[in-house]
């Protein structure tokens, strides 16, 4: 579904205007673009690869704004030794490691990373050579949709498969219902056996869709959830990736 179809779906459900150029349509477009960013951040359903040379002795790097969220990081040391996958830690823990180190370089290539804010990537230990290569996968920041023909399935606007677009519409309906104090969301919540504020029914459906997509991505990657065993602990696998915005 393109932006025009998504906006018409939201508008017809809530009773708002879908006419281009109206104030209500501008709000709907804003919410749908917000939905794309939120969906990508939480599911990481569309990722790309990157590579960059590190700087010897440097542990802090500015991430370009086009990176919405990191998924994985690894270092290929100078000389082509075994690739080292970096373990994500908090910024505080990484600073503690730095303060406790006896040398700036440490015992080897970078083994840990932390993301602070939306732009600061910190690694430890620091790279020993300018030929060390930092490789990774990331969720690219989508371009804002502004025309009816813009489609969130297109990589430029998010790369979200068409089968997941109903979730984007539900996010838009949640925002629109909250804005318009719409009773349809109360009815949606009542159908689920819950009582909530305007928008809560659509938000609950959106959250369920997010959970389902995460499970589908895990299964597509070949990860299988272990069955529950009586008297034992149930295993849970984390969702793919590390969220740079959380």
pTM: 0.77
Count Cβ neighbours within 10 Å for each residue of 206-216 and write b for 16 or more, e otherwise. beebbeebbee
Taking residue 22's Cβ as centre, other Cβ atoms within 10 Å add up to: 13
Identify which of 61, 44, 230 has the alpha carbon closest to the alpha carbon of residue 138. 44
For position 237, what pLDDT does the model report? Answer: 47
For position 246, what pLDDT does the model report? Answer: 41
Q: What phi and psi, each to the nearest 5 degrees, are found at residue 132?
A: -65, 135
The answer, yes or no, to whether the previous bond of 108 is cis (omega within 30 of 0) is no
- pLDDT tens string 145-168: 999 999 999 999 999 999 999 999
Residue 64, SS3? coil
Q: What phi and psi, each to the nearest 5 degrees, are found at residue 139?
A: -95, 115
Task: Answer whether 209's CB lies under 8 Å from 166's CB.
Answer: yes
Region 201-224: mean pLDDT is 88
% of the chain with per-residue pLDDT over 90: 51
Q: What is the mean pLDDT of the chain?
A: 83
pLDDT at 139 over 70: yes
For position 214, what pLDDT does the model report? Answer: 92
For position 27, what pLDDT does the model report? Answer: 96
For position 236, what pLDDT does the model report? Answer: 44
């Amino acid at each position: 579904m393109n932006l025009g179809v998504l906006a018409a779906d939201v508008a017809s459900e809530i009773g708002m205007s879908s006419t281009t150029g109206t104030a209500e349509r501008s709000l709907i477009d804003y919410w749908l673009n917000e939905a794309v960013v939120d969906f990508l951040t939480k599911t990481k359903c569309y990722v790309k690869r990157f590579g960059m040379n590190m700087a010897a002795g440097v542990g802090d790097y500015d991430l370009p704004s086009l990176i919405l969220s990191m998924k994985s990081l690894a270092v290929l040391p100078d000389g082509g030794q075994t690739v080292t996958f970096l373990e994500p830690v908090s910024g505080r823990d990484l600073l503690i490691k730095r303060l406790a180190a006896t040398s700036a370089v440490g015992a080897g290539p970078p083994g840990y990373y932390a993301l602070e804010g939306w732009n600061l990537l910190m690694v430890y230990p620091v790279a020993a050579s300018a030929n060390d290569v930092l490789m990774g996968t990331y969720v690219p920041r989508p371009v804002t949709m502004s025309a009816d023909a813009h489609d969130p399935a297109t990589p430029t606007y998010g790369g979200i498969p068409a089968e997941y677009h109903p979730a984007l519409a539900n996010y838009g309906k949640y925002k629109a219902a909250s804005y318009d104090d719409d009773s349809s969301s109360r009815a949606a919540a009542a159908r689920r056996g819950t009582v909530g504020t305007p928008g809560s029914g659509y938000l609950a459906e959106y959250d369920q869709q997010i959970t389902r997509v995460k499970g589908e991505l895990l299964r597509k990657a070949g990860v299988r959830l272990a069955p529950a065993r009586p008297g034992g602990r149930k295993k849970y696998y984390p969702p793919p990736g590390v969220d740079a915005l959380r």
